[in-house]
Amino acid sequence: HLLASLNAYNQTEKGREHLAKMITPLFDSNEQCIGFFVTLPGYDGGYQRVFVQDVLVHGNGNDTHADIASIFEKAFVQSHMGGTQGKFPSWGASGSFSAWTMKDISGENATPTFRGGFDLGVMKVAAVNGIKAERPVVAESSMFTHDTTVTTPDGARKKIQIVSQHAYTVVGADENGVTLTNPWGTNVIPGSKDGAKATFTMSWRDFYDNFGDVPVGRIP
């Protein structure tokens, strides 16, 4: 939910500017960067400002390569009293919802649109309008998903595993379908040791079969 949300903000220039403002590097007397102050604005009672000097061992980065996502990831964990534990009951950073995470990132309430009854098209409307407005958009898969044939960026058709209860960044949406990115950086091809690229396009019918809600965030 965090990496998918960060990537959603990273899709537009305004979103990237906001993410950049959240991080302030700290230099020592030798002008060597020794860490980063990260400000997360969307917390009850005001913003959280944490100091990051390392990254998670089993997180997005590692000790020799810390990208901006891994810095945010460590800051997000440090800002939760439950650390890397689940949201409930420990109030940790794991197992949360993208709408809540988007508020932590922006300080602005996000709007989740859930599939309701027979009106599955509400998620399509939310995604298409969100992308048109250059707002961050995420799609969260349901508990019951299916291996689905999708179109990869090179135009190939491949069957991939849609991970259940997982968050994907919406990078494009129109009347013809929706383009998603898996924040894990790859997708599983069932029955194969090879992986598929993280970004793929699927039809709205397949989207409705696999996804349960579309949170749309705001950029302050």
Residue 167: count of CB within 10 angstroms of its CB: 25
The answer, yes or no, to whether residue 46 has pLDDT greater than 80, is no
Cα Rg, the chain, nearest whole Å: 18
pLDDT at site 117: 67
DSSP assignment, residue 162?
A: -
The answer, yes or no, to whether residue 16 has pLDDT greater than 80, is yes
**Which of 65-74, 144-153, 210-219 is predicted with the least confidence, judged by mean pLDDT?**
65-74
Respond yes or no on whether the N-terminal peptide bond of residue 89 is cis (omega within 30° of 0).
yes
The answer, yes or no, to whether residue 21 has pLDDT greater than 90, is yes
pLDDT at site 120: 82
Q: Tokens 């809600």 — which residue?
A: 213
Give me 130's structure tokens: 């969100």
Q: Where are the alpha helices (DSSP H) in 145-212?
A: 204-210
